[in-house]
């Protein structure tokens, strides 16, 4: 009897066109990512219409490559999975339409996956023995959530950002100090040459109870600092601003996560989403967890930012539970985490 489950996963929620074949939710047979970064860099950020058009141009080829690299034919697949939200609606629609067409033509089950569930599931690939329950810090360009992952795909949200997401703050501050897009990696690079203690930026929400975050005040503090320096005719060190800003974000994310772990008596911590690629955050989380004897999972770098392998992993638990979508599956740009739509 055939027991292994092979899922073709498609991800097109923002500016990466991606397809992967994942076996049993943990084994990545292929993970193809066609990045549009070079195209959007010219405009200083993602242009939604261009993203959709590029997805359309690339998606067939990306899927073909994913199947070829996995040495897998269409007939060997057990299901087709796709991100249906949250994200840019025009971008999501390309993946959703493609997945529906494939599922219909091949007569295979269709699985709709929440993008952030994918980010969380990246941990199941990078840490093969990792299982719920655990506490997860989910930090991306659109989300900052602290959640208890009670079971596969079952999340209890403890807190979230009240304004900007952590990745959004990285992107906005990068723009303000002239580093451009994509902000996160550029701040990280600039910060390597800077002093994280050079400028004291606020640590928002750290003194407050609860597990919500806020990053727009921190971003404003950076903008105020830049204005003050200009008015005083004093120079600005891009590296020091980057390092000091990054340190403030890392301090808040790490401290809130440790507070929640202590309060809820959870000794397993995971980090997920694009910002989990940040070297300073990875280091701070590692040190904080080692100090307390907590287990830590952070995805490999290629699985932190958008990819389809993570979608294939998240789809596996839905497959096992028989939670399939039908051909009415639609893109939901503002799909929330922790509430089933
Ligand atoms: O998960 P992701 O690829 O897309 C979303 O789901 O939003 O995350 C993208 C975000 C961007 O805001 C980007 O600046 C941030 O993740 N990011 C980073 C790093 N790499 C990506 N932020 C800080 N340091 C990084 N190395
Ligand atoms: Zn993402």
What pLDDT is attached to residue 37? Answer: 85
* 99 in Cβ contact with 80 (< 8 Å): yes
Contacts of 224 (CB under 8 A, 6+ apart): none
Write down the H helix ranges in 135-237: 166-176, 183-191, 216-231
Mind listing the pLDDT tens digit for each residue in 289-311? 999 999 999 999 999 999 999 99
Using pLDDT thresholds of 50, 70 and 90, give the confidence band for residue 184: very high
Average pLDDT, the chain: 95
pLDDT above 90 covers a percentage of the chain that reads: 91
Query: SS3 of 279, please?
Result: helix
Contacts of 107 (CB under 8 A, 6+ apart): none
Average pLDDT over residues 68-73: 98
Least confident of 123-132, 231-240, 243-252, 330-339: 330-339
How many C-alpha atoms does 131 have within 13 Å on its Cβ side? 1
What pLDDT is attached to residue 1? Answer: 57
Average pLDDT over residues 54-76: 97
Q: Which atom of ligand 1 is nearest to the CA of 142?
A: 7
- Residue 128 CA to ligand 1 center (angstroms) comes to 24
Write the burial class of residue 133 (CB in 10 Å: 0-12 exposed, 13-18 middle, 19+ buried).
Answer: middle
Ligand 1: residue of 181, 275, 285, 308 to mutate (most ligand atoms within 8 A of CB) is 275
Residue with tokens 């195209």: 39
Among 161, 187, 185, which residue's Cα sits nearest to residue 173? 187
Using pLDDT thresholds of 50, 70 and 90, give the confidence band for residue 2: low
pLDDT above 70 covers a percentage of the chain that reads: 99
What pLDDT is attached to residue 340? Answer: 37
Average pLDDT over residues 172-189: 95
Q: Measured at the alpha carbon of residue 16, what is the angle toward residues 175 and 270, in degrees to the nearest 5?
A: 80
Residue bearing the CA closest to ligand 1, atom 19: 184
Average pLDDT over residues 233-258: 97
Question: First vs last Cα of the chain: how many Å apart?
Answer: 34
> Rounded distance, CA 131 to CA 120, Å?
11
How is residue 294 written in tokens?
């907590």
What pLDDT is attached to residue 341? Answer: 31
What count of other Cβ atoms lies within 10 Å of the Cβ of residue 260?
20
Domains of the chain by start residue, with CATH:
6-121+304-340 (3.30.420.40), 132-299 (3.30.420.40)
Contacts of 31 (CB under 8 A, 6+ apart): 18, 20, 66, 302, 303, 307, 308, 309
> Rounded distance, CA 224 to CA 222, Å?
5
Which ligand has its closest atom nearest to the C-alpha of 301? 1
């Amino acid at each position: 009897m055939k027991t292994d489950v092979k899922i073709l996963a498609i991800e097109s929620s923002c500016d990466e066109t991606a397809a992967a074949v994942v076996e049993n939710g943990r084994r990545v047979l292929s993970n193809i990512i066609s990045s549009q970064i070079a195209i959007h860099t010219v405009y200083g950020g993602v242009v939604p219409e261009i993203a959709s058009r590029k997805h359309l141009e690339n998606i067939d080829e990306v899927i073909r490559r994913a199947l070829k690299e996995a040495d897998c034919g269409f007939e060997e697949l057990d299901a087709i999975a796709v991100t249906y939200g949250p994200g840019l609606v025009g971008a999501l629609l390309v993946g959703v339409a493609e997945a529906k067409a494939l599922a219909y033509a091949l007569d295979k089950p269709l699985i709709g996956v929440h993008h952030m569930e994918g980010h969380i599931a990246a941990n199941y690939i990078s840490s093969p023995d990792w299982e719920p329950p655990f506490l997860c810090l989910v930090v991306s360009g659109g989300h900052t959530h602290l959640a208890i992952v009670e079971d596969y795909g079952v999340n209890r949200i403890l807190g979230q950002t009240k304004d900007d997401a952590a990745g959004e703050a990285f992107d906005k501050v990068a723009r303000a100090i002239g580093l451009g897009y994509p902000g996160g990696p550029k701040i990280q690079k600039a910060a390597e040459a800077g002093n994280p203690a050079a400028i004291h930026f606020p640590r928002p929400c750290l003194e407050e109870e609860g597990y919500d975050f806020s990053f727009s005040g921190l971003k404003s503090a950076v903008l105020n600092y830049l204005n003050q320096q200009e008015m005083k005719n004093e120079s600005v060190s891009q590296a020091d601003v980057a390092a000091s800003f990054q340190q403030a974000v890392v301090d808040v994310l790490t401290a809130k996560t440790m507070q929640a772990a202590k309060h809820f008596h959870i000794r397993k911590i995971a980090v997920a989403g694009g910002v989990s690629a940040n070297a300073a955050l990875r280091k701070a989380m590692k040190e904080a967890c080692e100090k307390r004897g907590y287990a830590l999972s952070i995805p490999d770098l290629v699985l932190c930012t958008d990819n389809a392998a993570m979608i294939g992993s998240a789809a596996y638990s839905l497959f096992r539970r028989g939670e399939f979508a039908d051909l009415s599956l639609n893109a939901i740009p503002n799909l929330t985490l922790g509430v089933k739509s």
